[in-house]
Structure 1
Amino acid sequence: MFLSGLYRYPVKSCQAQSLEASAVDLLGLRGDRRWLVVEASNGRFLTQRAWPRLTQLKASLGEAGRLLLEAPGQTPLEVAVPADDEDLRGVTIWRDTLRVPDAGDEAAGWLSELLGKPVRLVYCPEQRARYLPSGYGLNSDRAAFPDGFPLLLIGQGSLDELNRRVGRELEMLRFRPNLVVHGAEPFAEDGWKRIRIGEMTFRVLKPSVRCILTTLDPRTGERSADREPLATLKTFRERDGDVLFGQNLAVDGSGEIALGMEVEVLK
């Protein structure tokens, strides 16, 4: 087995950034989901679930972590990483509330134009990262702005089997993984507890619960009229009311991983 896909999402719910290699630290892939778009009025987070226009937001990272925002019809904007303890804004992501730096009025205006509503852009310094959901991982495990966990892994074989059942080819990026593993049997990752990629080790914490976001075309933001692949997943991947696809991971230590690295199941 080997690592065949490596993706980060600098802004939560933006387009995927395909990588050849990446540094990995406590929060997952370096720079992954460290930025978040929130409602200006109440700090509630926004995602493609309700705002499919975010599928058109391209975000990439430059020197010193600076963020480059691009979208059709708008002039690209570069955003500096805000100071850790200045202009803090209260935000809510699922059940978590935290105070994080605001990225300023220019970024807010640019994104408000994109989405057609008043929004703000915020950043998560490592020391302000959230703890993982209760009952999962170690006390030291943290996450920035993913739904709950630092990393998401999916086996290519699992998607191939799902596509066979759906009857057409659906993109891996509908499921927004960080890591894609080639060479495993369909859903083999369900039974993994600990894996090694290169010199890095990862703990498999829980299956990923899937939602309506998977029915969005990641290129256009259009929703599948037949509610695929969620409809087919419900026929064979539903457990206690949750539809499961992929596995959430935490990382031990820090280092670097790259495409082509061997993936070894340790437990």
Structure 2
Amino acid sequence: MGPLPTITVAELTAYPLKGAAGTSLTAAGLTPAGFRHDREFMLVRPDRRHLSQREVPRLATLEPARDEAKLTVHAPGEVTPLVHEVVDGPPLDVTVHGRPCRGTDQGDEAAGWFSAFLGRPCRLVRFTGTRPTTRRDGTLRFADGYPLSVLSRASLDDLNGRLAEPVPMDRFRPNLVLSGLDPYGEDGITTLRVGTAVIDLVAPCARCIVTTVDQRTGEQTRRDPLRTLARYRTRAFEGGCGVMFGRLAVPRVPGTVAVGDPVDAR
């Protein structure tokens, strides 16, 4: 038997604003709720349900950046960027896929900027309080059900070999991308030890229509890669909805993770 392949961290991405573009990182602090600032902000409709690319694909074209004091969001075209000083506004009861959580309202200026760009009324909220993961074995902010998503480069390469037009990694919006695995090798992994952190892979990631949105242009195809994935990947076990591609994860031990770190995968 030859030597085992060396598995490393290939990419790290945080998503400060839920549904918007990600921020590529060279190193990231991993908290119990995921990467620092990940899904810290969210847009909500007047009924306080979260706004996503499912309804507004154009959300993908917004490019947020977060520092200690402010959230800066760039939009395509001649739109003046939003430079938002984070405030402790009034708390609002909001929902993510029907699950209750809380956010602090970030004011009329931010609400007006996003509403004008997206062409529908919405408000910006910042996560506050606590929220359990879907299986209640961790905590998260405004992510759908778990604080981290993990995918390997080899899995995307295998999928792209089946597509008429290859798609980039950002179609799947992972937080952590691994290199050195065989295609779909992440399916059989339960634990990652990387940097000073330990991460438990706890559920398959069921893919939705957001994977058909071009993350650069905000345009939707409504066919691939979902159609091709459905031909050869099994459906996720929760309700039989969506096809499995990648894994969802919960940090067991917080720490620091960096691109290039070796990964002990078990």
Structure 1 length normalisation: TM-score?
0.92
- Runs (4+) off by over 3 Å: none
User: Matched residues, percent identical?
Assistant: 39
Say what the alpha-carbon RMSD is for the aligned residues.
1.3
1:121 alignment counterpart: 124
Residues 71-121 of structure 1: per-residue CA shift (max 9 Å, x gap): 1232112222222xx411121111311232101111000000111111100
Across the two proteins, how many residue pairs are aligned to each other?
Answer: 255
Aligned position for 1:154: 151
Confirm or deny that 1:238 pairs with 2:234.
Answer: yes
Corresponding residue for 1:10? 16
Q: How does 1:204-219 map to 2 (within 5 A)?
A: 204-219=201-216
Determine if contact 2:155/2:183 at 8 Å carries over to the other structure.
yes
Matched AA of 1:71: A
SS at match of 2:249: strand
Task: Return 237-246 or 25-34, whichever deviates more.
Answer: 237-246
> Structure 2 residue aligned with 1:90, among 74, 90, 93?
93
- In the aligned structure 2, how far is the partner of 1:230 from the partner of 1:174? 11
- Stretches of structure 2 that go unaligned for 5 or more consecutive residues are 1-6
1:137–1:250 CA contact under 8 A, matched in 2: no
2:131 aligned partner = 130
Amino acid of the residue matched to residue 208 of structure 1? Answer: C
| Alignment pair present for 1:30 and 2:36 | yes
Q: Deviations over 1:44-94 (max 9, x none)?
A: 101111101101211001233x210111232112222222xx411121111
State the 1:241 CA deviation. Answer: 4.4
Length-normalised TM-score, structure 2: 0.92
Residue in 2 that maps onto 1:262: 262
Q: Is the 8 A contact 1:203 1:251 kept in 2?
A: yes
* Residue pair 1:153, 1:248 contacting (<8 A) in 2 also: yes
Aligned partners of 1:82 and 1:207: how far apart in 2? 36
CA shift at 1:248, angstroms?
Answer: 0.4
Distance in structure 2 (CA, Å) of the matches to 1:31 and 1:132? 17
Which residue, 99, 102, 106 being the options, matches 1:99?
Answer: 102
Q: Secondary structure at the match of 1:180?
A: strand
> What's the CA shift string for 1:183-241, capped at 9, x where partnerless?
1000010011111112211001100010111011110011226x110000000113234
Q: Is 1:176 aligned to 2:176, yes or no? A: no
